Amino acid sequence: MSVSYAMMIASRIVGGVVGGSDAAMRVMASEMVDKASEAKIFAWMMMSYRTGQILGQPVGGVLAHPERAFPSLFGGAFWRAHPYALPCFVGAAYAAFFAIVGALRSFKELVPSIRRSSQNQTLDGLDLRDSRFVGQDYITMDPYDSNARVL
């Protein structure tokens, strides 16, 4: 959407700054899966990245200059001023859609389940009143009790 050289340079700088998300994605993926599945997950991540690089260029080329290819749909002044906006919008919509789908599929893993048994207070099967968990930052009494305190 750059209309000047300075704006293009600024957008490339911003792209470079946020380009480190690959390392963050690898860390998150390695924390979400067990060690046996890590190699498979990393292979899938690399394959999806390379597929996007290969398919993204022709799709972007086909969608560029929509005012020429589809004048009845994109005949406005905006599309003449920004001939590469449509590939950007399509790519952003594609990424947003799959980010939402991925978040919804893994939402159950983002929120830990808290189960309350009749005798013990448990968090993912761990007894919070167990002596191993009693310490400086652990709850020493029933967390649902109004008199609960932290040592």
Q: Do 62 and 124 reside in the same domain of the chain?
A: no
Compute the mean pLDDT over every residue in the chain, rounded to the nearest whole number: 75
Q: Do 79 and 103 reside in the same domain of the chain?
A: yes
Q: Do 70 and 93 reside in the same domain of the chain?
A: yes
Q: Do 102 and 148 reside in the same domain of the chain?
A: no
Q: If you write DSSP's letter for every residue of the chain in order, what string do you get? A: ---SHHHHHHHHHHHHHGGGHHHHHHHHHHHHS-HHHHHHHHHHHHHHHHHHHHHHHHHHHHHS-HHHH-TTTS-SHHHHH-TTHHHHHHHHHHHHHHHHHHHHHSHHHHS----B-SSSBEETTEETTSGGG-STTSB-S-TTSTT--B-
Domain that residue 149 falls in = 113-151
Residue-level pLDDT at 143: 53
In this model, does residue 1 exceed pLDDT 50?
A: yes
Tell me how far CA of residue 140 lies from CA of 35, 117, 120, 124, 144, in angstroms.
Answer: 33, 17, 12, 17, 11
What total number of domains does the chain contain?
Answer: 2
Query: Among the ranges 62-71, 99-108, 121-130, 138-147, which has the highest mean pLDDT value?
Result: 62-71
Q: Do 106 and 90 reside in the same domain of the chain?
A: yes
Residue-level pLDDT at 119: 42
Share of the chain above pLDDT 90, in %: 24
In this model, does residue 11 exceed pLDDT 70?
A: yes
Q: Do 15 and 50 reside in the same domain of the chain?
A: yes
Pairwise pLDDT comparison (30 vs 67), residue with the higher score:
67
In this model, does residue 79 exceed pLDDT 90?
A: yes
Q: Do 101 and 142 reside in the same domain of the chain?
A: no
In this model, does residue 101 exceed pLDDT 60?
A: yes
CA 62 – CA 53 distance, rounded (Å): 15
In this model, does residue 95 exceed pLDDT 70?
A: yes
Indicate the pTM of the whole model. Answer: 0.57
Query: Of 126, 151, 149, 123, which is closest to residue 137 (Cα–Cα)?
Result: 151
Q: Do 25 and 82 reside in the same domain of the chain?
A: yes
Residue-level pLDDT at 44: 87
The one-letter amino acid code at 57 reads Q
Of the pLDDT bands very low, low, confident and very high (cuts 50, 70, 90), residue 116 is very low
